[in-house]
Structure 1
């Protein structure tokens, strides 16, 4: 895997998250971020979230706030509960 394709997640104290291998930021607000990464789709949920840094060329995103969950989406269709909780 080339350096540009590597995907790492560094969480510091549940307050700061640095992610590498980001292809796209699909959507974001103060409660959730949805990212497309080299390892699949990723959802970060929490409170008072904001983007501290986004380097599109390097594929790096830094998020600050209260990180509650980090989930990878396997791309399978979601059931009713999955769509409602999204």
Structure 2
């Protein structure tokens, strides 16, 4: 199983706009019913929507699932959660 730890896998699977399943999730930095900010092996990922809630979060296998009405997901550049578009203003 050491090979799995060395492999930095990250997948995003969305079922409609109701559920998003992720692998490679290292931690949940913050969340509420309209936004989740997750640290993944590929960087910070922001998931936005309404009625969002954590369906499950497995810290051992680095898997998470969020359900609700998903409107967007975006990888953010800096640790402050500012996107490339916002920073260029």
Q: Distance in 2 between matches of 1:70 and 1:14?
A: 11
Q: Are 1:25 and 2:28 matched, yes or no?
A: yes
RMSD: 2.2
Q: Distance in 2 between matches of 1:44 and 1:16?
A: 11
SS at structure 2 position matched to 1:3? helix
For 1:1-86, list aligned pairs within 5 A. Answer: 2-4=3-5, 5-75=8-78, 78=82, 82=86
Shift of 1:76: 7.5
Give the unaligned 5+ runs of structure 1. Answer: none
Shift of 1:72: 0.1
Shift of 1:74: 2.0
Q: Distance in 2 between matches of 1:29 and 1:60?
A: 19
Pick closer, same or farther for the CA change 1:12–1:54 going to 2, 3 Å.
same
TM-score, length-normalised on structure 2? Answer: 0.81
